[in-house]
Structure 1
Amino acid sequence: MATPVDYGVLFNTLDDDLQPMQQTDMSTLYLVGTSEDATPSFLPLNASRMFNSSDPLFLAALGTGNLATGVRLVNANLGPFQLAARIIVHRVSKGATDAETIANIVGNQANGTGIYGALACGQRFGVTPRLFFFVDGLTGVFTRGPTSTVVTRAAKFGGNTGTGLMTLADPAFGVGVKAGVYRVRAKTAAANGGVFSVVDPDGTVLADATVGTAYTGVVKFTIADGATDFVVDDGFDLTVTLAEGPATVNPICAALPQVLNALLANAIVSGPGTTVQDDRDWRETLSHERLIPVSTWVTAVGMSEGTFIEPGPVAAGIGVRVDAQTKGKIGVPSQSFANQAVYGITALKRYDTFSLSDGANDGQQLLADDIGIIQRGETGVDTAAVSSGFVLICYANAGTVKLNRFFNVTRTRDYALLQILRAWRARLGITNITRTGIQAFENDCDVILSRLQTDEHIIGYLTGIGAGNTPETIRAGRFRFKIKNEPASPFLVAEADVYRYRDALNALLADVAGGTNAALAPVT
């Protein structure tokens, strides 16, 4: 329609206001797992389905295995007024072996199965899952390389009278050799000979060894005669060291970073939950800041006595809880999962020692290795993690850059970047690179980051013009900005310097001297 030329009224609608801050959901869960008795029509294999976690139809369709237990644990750990979590479930088939099930959980990127099914959720459901967890206990499965055996020998403490030597065979060990010290001692002395007893590290007496004859038991050696004959109690100690090979990376944990990076998501991965050493060996194989390691396995309400489930569902439910409770109530994931009460469980598979004031215990060592733990309360123990109930202590990721060690810091960074992305995409191709256009982009950042600073999700921020802008890049439609922001770290260690306070005594004396009771006044 042509505009009036000489006479009329015109209204020009301008769209140069600041882009408002939008709520970004960082708490949509993605669960890949098996359930052999799930309802296929409601929860088909190798397909993602989104539900509210308290939907009765959904809960009934999950079946009776760990998939259902995991969702119940998520629901048990939600916060006040939280009726459900938004959860996307991708059911896979259970293989004949753990290796086959792991392969099904990893899935295939070309087919969009397993963990790769999350990549299409934004298009399919209008939401992007950003907190992954698992229920089959397979993210902690790993193997170790071949065990190496080293045997060394030395004359017994104090030395020998006889000058004969012991020579180790190559190899110096046989099948069934044990780690520790094998004691070889002369029990019968003879000219140019003798007989030696052999005792293994557990105190078991093995076959005797004879001077000049090769010994071919679980340890292998030959004792030669010397210029001076052996006497009774002469001997040698053989030290056997069994060194296990390095742990291999779990395939699920190895495949996850690609998907997590694409979605700006995080995954809660559970350790083997067997021994503390196994958990630490498993942790050594992880090296990505989007993986959140947790250790302690649990028994949940409804599970049979003596059966356990990995702690991922507990941490996921708590994650949804704390995201909703952060200041401003806009879902900023700026809080760790530490010191959070755990609900819906009845027992732990392994009770690790722990003290708030001492680092020489299993719980503190696991935390030092960036592995989250669950602790049981101890009434009357002041240095316990909590006085009653169960508590999750989880705040670190598996990254190697300590600057980004805390996952609430990296998740807050992701939240801010997603907010800026949403604001800037509304300007691309519409705003020109002019002084006003550049300022508009900066102003969008200021709106977002100032709100995060006001609510104390970040400590401070700075925006400005980045390096590398040239006339040529501007002509190409490109411009670089600089954005700095400092997310708040969790308060983990409180340290106080404690002194005696002499001024309090001076105040006491002054108070007494100024009192009205003559009996308390100083004698002059």
Structure 2
Amino acid sequence: MSDPTFGLSIQRIDTEPRPPVASDMSVVGIIGTAVDADASAFPLNTPVFLYSDDATKLTALGAAGTLRDAITLVNAQLGAFQAAAKIVVVRVADGEGASAIDETLANIVGDGVTTGLSAFLNAPAELGVTPRLICAPGFTSQRMGGDANPVCAALPAICEKLLAHAVVDGPATTLQDALDWRETISHDRLIPVDPAVRVLSDGITVVQPLSPAVIGVGVRRDHAFQGRPFHSWANQPVQHIVGPSRPIAFSLTDGATEGQSLLAANIGILLRGEMGVESAIGQGGFIFVGTDNAGEDDLWRFYNVTRGRDYIHLMLLRTLRFYLGRFNITGQTIQAVLNTMETALRNLKADGDILGFEVKFLPAQNSPEELRQGRFTVTFAAEEAPVLRYLGIQSARYRPALDAMLDELLAQVGTISG
């Protein structure tokens, strides 16, 4: 429409910095079995979304298999004012006969395209949610000889595509078995944990994988910080269990314990509180301790750091895509993008999620030829806050206290003569 000859013209200006748009990092993805599930509600190899308190869907899922127990453990960890977790379930067929476990593992790994773990990749398009905390409880510890677990081997590729992390369970048998298992996995999107947990089911105590409980703790922690995943899950209570599957010896002051050995191997652990033992992790209950992923790069060792960087990348992606195609490259557009990034990162710094940041438009990375092609590059750097996992205390005698005492005595007593 052309401007009127006699009248007014009103145009909206969109060159202000955009408000940051965050992604939900706490959607849980659980893959497993449910032999008596309603196949119409939970078809095989198909992502199905549910809220973890949805009684209708939980009934349709059935009680057998691994999925219902996993959801129960997730639910038990939720905090105040949390009604439910968002969960994407993928059901696979149980193996049969003598090779049942091998068949089930193969079903979970899937064909790499549409079945098994790959079904999670369909969740964003089909369900409108992206699972970013994934587990396959009961199916990540098995090994064939010295080989790696096939599910652990397949998870990194899935996690990379989803920008997700997977909590994987160790063998829950002995320290050596856990260390041997740990040697077969290496990726910064895998979070290893050990041992398992014991829960009361139908009046008897049964052993179940720890991973759903740890993910439930993660959902609770994210919720406590308005969905921002920059905080560790360590030193957090685990509920709805009667104990770990085996006791883990631990001391805050002695590195020569089983618990400290597992932590040194980047394996998160479940510990029992001990009343009156100052070197225990707590006075009572059961507490998860784990800060690390299974990657090789110590610069990105903490999972709260790698999850936090995913949050930043997704936030920038969702916020800055507004500019694509709507604006020409001008100095004003470039400045608007820089201001938008600066606003988003400044908010994270104010909340204590990052320690500092820098946003730059560098001439060396932007040539006239690039600009003519509709392209420019912005560089940002940020430092996520590391988790406090070691506190050193140096204890010494304090001689000046004696000097002060002598001065005080001299002032009070003075000289006595006879």
Instruction: Tell me, yes or no, whether TM beats 0.5.
Output: yes
Q: Which residue is equivalent to 2:292? A: 396
Q: Which residue is equivalent to 1:51? A: 50
- Secondary structure (helix, strand or coil) at the match of 1:441 reads helix
**CA–CA distance in structure 1, aligned partners of residues 238 and 117 of structure 2:** 27
Contact in 2 for aligned 1:73/1:300 (Cα 8 Å): no
Q: Which residue is equivalent to 2:383? A: 486
Q: Deviations over 1:43-89 (max 9, x none)?
A: 22222111110111122222223321111111111111111100011
Return the match for 2:370 from 460, 473, 478. 473
Displacement of 1:475 in angstroms is 1.2
Displacement of 1:495 in angstroms is 0.2
Displacement of 1:496 in angstroms is 1.4
Q: Which residue is equivalent to 1:498? A: 395
- Secondary structure (helix, strand or coil) at the match of 2:206 reads coil
- Secondary structure (helix, strand or coil) at the match of 1:308 reads strand
- Secondary structure (helix, strand or coil) at the match of 1:485 reads strand
Contact in 1 for aligned 2:22/2:318 (Cα 8 Å): no
Q: Deviations over 1:399-432 (max 9, x none)?
A: 0111101000011111011111111100011222
**CA–CA distance in structure 1, aligned partners of residues 232 and 63 of structure 2:** 31
Q: Which residue is equivalent to 1:421? A: 317
Letter in 2 for 1:79: G
Q: Which residue is equivalent to 2:229? A: 333
Q: Which residue is equivalent to 2:305? A: 409
Letter in 1 for 2:170: G
Q: TM-score, normalised by structure 2?
A: 0.94
Q: Which residue is equivalent to 2:90? A: 90
Which consecutive residues of structure 1, in runs of 5 or more, have no partner in the other structure? 145-246, 515-519
Q: Deviations over 1:207-244 (max 9, x none)?
A: xxxxxxxxxxxxxxxxxxxxxxxxxxxxxxxxxxxxxx
Q: Which residue is equivalent to 2:131? A: 129
Q: Which residue is equivalent to 1:240? A: none
Q: Which residue is equivalent to 1:104? A: 107
Return the match for 1:357 from 235, 247, 253. 253
Displacement of 1:523 in angstroms is 4.0
- Secondary structure (helix, strand or coil) at the match of 2:365 reads coil
**CA–CA distance in structure 2, aligned partners of residues 368 and 304 of structure 1:** 37
**CA–CA distance in structure 2, aligned partners of residues 303 and 507 of structure 1:** 68
1:27 aligns with 2:29: no
**CA–CA distance in structure 1, aligned partners of residues 407 and 381 of structure 2:** 54
1:318 aligns with 2:217: yes
Stretch of structure 1 that moved more, 497-506 or 478-487: 497-506
Contact in 2 for aligned 1:131/1:265 (Cα 8 Å): yes
1:119 aligns with 2:116: no
Q: Which residue is equivalent to 1:75? A: 75
**CA–CA distance in structure 1, aligned partners of residues 376 and 281 of structure 2:** 50
Distance verdict in 2 for CA 1:523–1:302, change over 3 Å: farther
Matches for 1:66-465 after TM superposition, within 5 Å: 66-96=66-96, 97-110=100-113, 112-135=114-137, 137-144=138-145, 247-302=146-201, 305=204, 307-326=206-225, 329=226, 331-465=227-361
Q: TM-score, normalised by structure 1?
A: 0.76
Distance verdict in 2 for CA 1:109–1:304, change over 3 Å: farther
How many corresponding residue pairs? Answer: 411
**CA–CA distance in structure 2, aligned partners of residues 305 and 522 of structure 1:** 77
Q: Which has the higher helix share?
A: 2
**CA–CA distance in structure 2, aligned partners of residues 481 and 17 of structure 1:** 18
Displacement of 1:267 in angstroms is 0.5
Q: Which residue is equivalent to 2:17? A: 18
Displacement of 1:355 in angstroms is 0.9
Displacement of 1:304 in angstroms is 6.0
**CA–CA distance in structure 2, aligned partners of residues 125 and 439 of structure 1:** 36
Displacement of 1:3 in angstroms is 2.3
Contact in 1 for aligned 2:90/2:119 (Cα 8 Å): yes
- Secondary structure (helix, strand or coil) at the match of 1:84 reads coil
Displacement of 1:348 in angstroms is 1.6
* Identical-pair percentage: 42
Distance verdict in 2 for CA 1:312–1:261, change over 3 Å: same
Letter in 2 for 1:494: L
Stretch of structure 1 that moved more, 409-418 or 59-68: 59-68
Letter in 2 for 1:410: T
Letter in 2 for 1:489: P
Q: Deviations over 1:342-392 (max 9, x none)?
A: 100012211121111111111101100000000011112211121111000
**CA–CA distance in structure 2, aligned partners of residues 55 and 432 of structure 1:** 48
Displacement of 1:122 in angstroms is 1.2
Letter in 2 for 1:504: A
Which consecutive residues of structure 2, in runs of 5 or more, have no partner in the other structure? none
**CA–CA distance in structure 2, aligned partners of residues 395 and 317 of structure 1:** 15
**CA–CA distance in structure 1, aligned partners of residues 274 and 85 of structure 2:** 31
Q: Deviations over 1:6-26 (max 9, x none)?
A: x21111111112110223210
Contact in 2 for aligned 1:69/1:300 (Cα 8 Å): no
**CA–CA distance in structure 1, aligned partners of residues 335 and 259 of structure 2:** 50
Q: Tell which structure's C-alpha radius of gyration is larger.
A: 1
**CA–CA distance in structure 2, aligned partners of residues 12 and 286 of structure 1:** 57
**CA–CA distance in structure 2, aligned partners of residues 389 and 476 of structure 1:** 61
Letter in 2 for 1:297: A
Displacement of 1:508 in angstroms is 4.0
Superposed CA RMSD in Å reads 1.6
Q: Which residue is equivalent to 1:204? A: none
**CA–CA distance in structure 2, aligned partners of residues 271 and 90 of structure 1:** 21
**CA–CA distance in structure 1, aligned partners of residues 205 and 315 of structure 2:** 46
Letter in 2 for 1:3: D
Displacement of 1:512 in angstroms is 5.4
**CA–CA distance in structure 2, aligned partners of residues 334 and 403 of structure 1:** 15
**CA–CA distance in structure 2, aligned partners of residues 394 and 45 of structure 1:** 33
